Amino acid sequence: MRLQPFLFTVFALLLTTGGCGGAGDIEPNESSSDPSTEADAYPSQPARIYVDESADDWDSLSVRAVDPDGQATNIQRLWVAHSQDRLFLHMVVQPALNLQEGNDLTLYLDTDNDPSTGTQALGLGAELTWTFGERSGKMVRNGAEQEVSHADIGLTTLPTVRSDTFEVALDRSAAPGGTPLFAGDSLRIALSSPGDRLPNANGGLGYALTASEVPLAAPGIERPPASALRLLSYNSVNNFDRNRSAIFDPERQPSYRRIFAAVSPDVIAFQEVYSESAAETEAVAESELGLSDAWTWAKHGADLVLGSRFPILDSEPIPGYESNRSAAFLLDADAALGSPLLVINMHPPCCNFGPDEDDPSRNAQRQQVVDNVVAFLRDLKQGEGPFALPENTPIVVMGDMNFVGEAQQPRTLRTGQIVNTDRFGPPAPPDWDGSSLLDTAPRQVASPLHTTWVDMDSSFPPGRLDYAFVTDSVLEVVHEFVLHTPAMPADLRDTYGLRASDTPTASDHLPVVLDVAPR
């Protein structure tokens, strides 16, 4: 079902547990007498917002607009906030949708606050219009129209799975075609979709971009003293034209070498090492990537390789969907954690193609993969797996999950809620105390964004595709981050010997890093 161009004065995201929210769970100030909700007003809410699939940042902020028409399908609420660098929106819609495809929800921004300029729609002159489900937009300045991409306007949206709450961020320094997107210190915002609009009256919602001195509390790279072990998950993107993983590409290897030197991991879980063996990965890691020759390596499935400075005691493939298997690696981490460590490396099918005539949809394929992993952990903990797992062994599940469809897939992995119980058996909470796994959801260094995949040439805006879950009943996450070198200040990159081009050169996925210690 398709939503209409939406109100654009909402800053960030939402959400309830599991990555998809519920509009009824949010209790904003909805008083129609509140001047901040008047369309003609120009409220301002400088705030420290993290685009992280959580509504906590927005709890203390005033809602900018509430849709009073009560339609079954509508844009229900909009919040707006800003920092010195970004404009943030937080939207609640019904029913839930996938923001990046299959909807007509459109954002209109009158960035010069002049109704006579830009695209004439909804009673305002919008310099920018962006249709989320089509992943396209246009700028109109001085009567000239220009097609723009997400990269042109610095657009980020989360979550990438179906939800009824979303966070949106735009770069205030964006200048498509050399012309600044935000021309002044006030703007008007509107949203629409077939059958609904926000606000209902013409003219959009006013918002003021006042001075913002709210500091950003972003994670650093430095390993904290409490860290006992550092894990890194990395999709080392396969160069299909050359049929090899990027870590084997001499043009990319210097970037990988600098990244690994800066991060200094103890365990690396690679995805997309298709054509090369574990022995070949070990050889290039030692010769070109700067990793120790004391590490041990193993490979399972089509593309899953794990390297560790701790001995690999055992490893097993986990069935998934056809060649999209997962893999379990049992490490002798007693020196660091006082126990073994079980690492599950995953790479479910990407995208939302199909279904083909004889194949299930990509959503159904991913669900089979996560159901299989939960069933494997259930059986292993019950002593029915392919190797013995001592009770309370810490477990980390990480990888490029490709969660871009139904929110049930990350929910299953976190909670143990198996969907295909007829094939994979009963649900089982994955943590040792009968609870859900912790979704660590790390944030980028020097950035408010929790995205882990960035491709400036793709029509899809940055998303969160790479996850790391832990059994937090026995394992404490003492530090976590996502490395995105273009977002880091130059002096911080210099401190760690990094270059702005390193993560874009290495892969379209970003390194996801966890520091853990025994609880």
Separation of alpha carbons 223 and 514, rounded Å? 10
Separation of alpha carbons 147 and 106, rounded Å? 15
Contact (Cβ atoms closer than 8 angstroms) between residue 180 and residue 141: no
Tokens, residue 19? 């990555």
The residue extents of the domains of the chain are: 4-208, 229-518
Give the end-to-end CA distance of the chain in Å, rounded to a whole number. 45
Shortest CA distance to 301 belongs to which of 280, 331, 321? 321
Residue 12: predicted pLDDT: 33
Contact (Cβ atoms closer than 8 angstroms) between residue 247 and residue 284: yes
DSSP-based three-state secondary structure for 48 = coil
Tokens, residue 449? 């964004």
Residue 71: predicted pLDDT: 64
The model's pTM? 0.91
Separation of alpha carbons 202 and 486, rounded Å? 40
51 secondary structure, DSSP code? B
Other C-beta atoms lying within 10 Å of the C-beta of residue 281? 25
Bridging pattern class, strands 395-400 and 341-346: parallel
Maximal CA-CA distance, the chain: 71
Residues facing 281 on adjacent strands: none
List the CATH code of the domain at 229-518. Answer: 3.60.10.10
Tens of pLDDT along the chain (519 residues) come to: 333 333 333 333 333 333 343 333 333 334 333 434 577 899 999 999 999 999 899 999 999 999 877 665 589 999 999 999 999 999 999 999 999 999 999 999 999 999 999 999 999 999 999 999 999 999 998 889 999 999 999 999 999 999 999 999 999 999 999 999 998 999 999 999 988 999 999 999 999 999 998 888 778 999 999 999 999 999 999 876 668 999 999 999 999 999 999 999 999 999 999 999 999 999 999 999 999 999 999 999 999 999 999 999 999 999 999 999 999 999 999 999 999 999 999 999 999 876 666 678 999 999 999 999 999 999 999 999 999 999 999 999 999 999 999 999 999 999 999 999 999 999 999 999 999 999 999 999 999 999 999 999 999 999 999 999 999 999 999 999 999 999 999 999 999 999 999 999 999 999 999 999 999
Tell me which amino acid residue 282 is: E
Tokens, residue 381? 């903990």
Tell me which amino acid residue 392 is: N
List phi, psi (to 5°) of 507.
-165, 160
| CA 274 distance to own-chain centroid | 24
Separation of alpha carbons 363 and 406, rounded Å? 7
